[in-house]
Structure 1
Amino acid sequence: MTFLAIDIGNTRLKWALYAAPRPGAALLQHGAVFLETIDALAETAWQALPTPHSMLGCVVAGDAVRRRVEHQMGELWEDLEPRWVVPSTHDAGISSGYDHPSRLGADRWVALAGARQRVLEHAAGGPPRPALVVMVGTAVTVDALDAAGHFLGGLILPGFGLMLKALETGTAGLKVPTGEVVDFPTNTSDGLMSGGANALAGAIERQQRRLRQRTGQEPLLYMTGGAAVKLAPITELPFETVDTLIFEGLLVLQSHRLAL
């Protein structure tokens, strides 16, 4: 009962093949490609993959990209039905407080499902805690779950690249830097990189305080995304980096669908 999980972001497509569609299933193979190369998946990364029994994916890059991925799957696996996550009001033990639940980014909804599973595992049968879920990619999202698994809402911020690009295009003489994150920058490159990193870290720390005040409990903090490695070292809160959080959420959602 192999299961293919697909995460199509704004920059890359990430995929993972699991032995079964359930949390904790063995990871068999995985990979990532830039969106510019997805039209070759059937001839490259996926060519030798065994036919998955089922798949579930999330996509934020748009319908045109999704159709290109579906075409690649069809080239290899004619009987595999593509299924994609559409955020809703309730699913797999989480509920949404978004004004228009279906307009929430699918990746955010999936990450919340993965985080909730981790919250329950951390509780080990005891009372669960609230959680803050941070995804650091092209954009950065900071989403809050209360102890009952209700999504309270979240922030959307520009990621490192977008933030630095805005500074480069909106000011004279500033170029995208190769600087370092330091406490007291003494050159422009370090100043730009440190400013962006601290802006993101400050937003996370502020939301953590708000969630603690709202729930009366110390939240768990999960961080994921390709650029999380840049942000994690300067965040002064205890956190867990979970590179596979989207895939874990897809496993949770698919397991729930099969149980219905």
Structure 2
Amino acid sequence: MSSSAETGMLALDVGSSRVKIGWYPPNVACLSPSQPGALPIVAPSLPLPDPAFAVTHRDRPRDELSQKIRQGIDPFPWQRAHCYVASVYPEVDSIVENILGDQTCFLAHTDLALEIRVDQPDRVGIDRLLSVVAANRLRRPGQEAIVVSVGTAITVNFISADGAFEGGAILPGLGISAASLNAGTSTLPHLSTASIEAPPEPVGKSTSAAIQAGLFWGAIGAIRQVSHRQRQVSSGQTKKEISRQMFATGGDARLLVDHLGIDGSPAKYIPHLVLAGIAITAEELR
């Protein structure tokens, strides 16, 4: 069978709330060269989808979701392409498979060129692992890195100096935290994360402003503290100081990235890190 560089490739990242879809046209599915970019947004040596889009699946009827996905991919000649899927939401898998048919290839942790140093590798979200696969293309050789994904959940994942996934931390995302405040109290309103357009004042002058401040600065503080603790654990094991990098991805990462970093370096924002990991893995499997 021909390679994805010859036929194109469709990559689907089925997350907890959205299906992210990236199209890699024929002869463009190869790695793009590294270009200098202004931080915190970086132009990396990664497979870049052209284009990429997302479809919300949470609370959407199956027929409507299927129609939205079909409408999104119809402009591309995906019927002749390879289709790779990374999913952490099994309820959507049958919809995707029904659309893509025999071309569907669901990725598992055993497909990845990645050492996974945790107790149950098969229980780790494939999106977390693929983000590490992609980050390893950006990570400076011999240096540790942290990948922060800010979506439905926030994950802080640690990469060893030799490129292994060492595990990490999982905490509620901004949306889940906002919904929990509303559901668990009698008077606090439910705020959409879309209402947070800029870093809010830490001293909120209204209930809504106070919730925005808590959501935003609470997430920043949690990520900083977890990454700091991970750094301490690593330094204690290696008995030496190692410079590290931080990469941020996910739907809400752009909100937070200006306030994140490690070892004096700002975090680099990578919009489609999981899709890039899918593309890298697909090329290695061909």
Task: With the length of structure 1 as denominator, give the TM-score of the two structures.
Answer: 0.85
* 2-structure distance, mates of 1:104, 1:189: 35
- 1:141 maps to 2:193: no
- 1:205 maps to 2:211: no
Partner of 1:106: 126
Structure 1, residues 31-52: CA drift from partner, whole Å, max 9, x if none?
2212234311465222231134
In the alignment, residue 247 of structure 2 is paired with which amino acid?
A: Y
* 1-structure distance, mates of 2:261, 2:22: 31
Partner of 1:5: 11
Task: With the length of structure 2 as denominator, give the TM-score of the two structures.
Answer: 0.78
Larger RCO, structure (CA 8 Å, separation 6 or more): 2
Partner of 1:38: 65
Q: Contact conserved, 1:4 with 1:52, CA < 8 A, in 2?
A: no
Task: Say if 1:26 and 1:210 are closer, same or farther in 2 by CA, change over 3 A.
Answer: closer
Contiguous gaps of at least 5 residues in structure 2? 1-5, 33-46, 236-240
One of 118, 124, 128 as aligned partner of 2:138: 118
Q: Contact conserved, 1:17 with 1:27, CA < 8 A, in 2?
A: yes
Structure 1, residues 42-101: CA drift from partner, whole Å, max 9, x if none?
652222311343121211111x31110111123xxxxx521112124x832x21122100
- 1:154 maps to 2:164: no
In the alignment, residue 51 of structure 2 is paired with which amino acid?
A: Q
One of 9, 12, 31 as aligned partner of 1:23: 31
Report how many residues are paired: 244
* 2-structure distance, mates of 1:105, 1:245: 14
In the alignment, residue 155 of structure 2 is paired with which amino acid?
A: T
One of 212, 237, 244 as aligned partner of 1:193: 212
In the alignment, residue 106 of structure 2 is paired with which amino acid?
A: W
Secondary structure in structure 2 of the residue aligned to 1:182: coil
* 1-structure distance, mates of 2:69, 2:128: 28
- 1:56 maps to 2:84: yes
* 2-structure distance, mates of 1:42, 1:207: 36
One of 131, 136, 146 as aligned partner of 2:145: 131
* 1-structure distance, mates of 2:69, 2:169: 36
Task: Say if 1:99 and 1:13 are closer, same or farther in 2 by CA, change over 3 A.
Answer: same
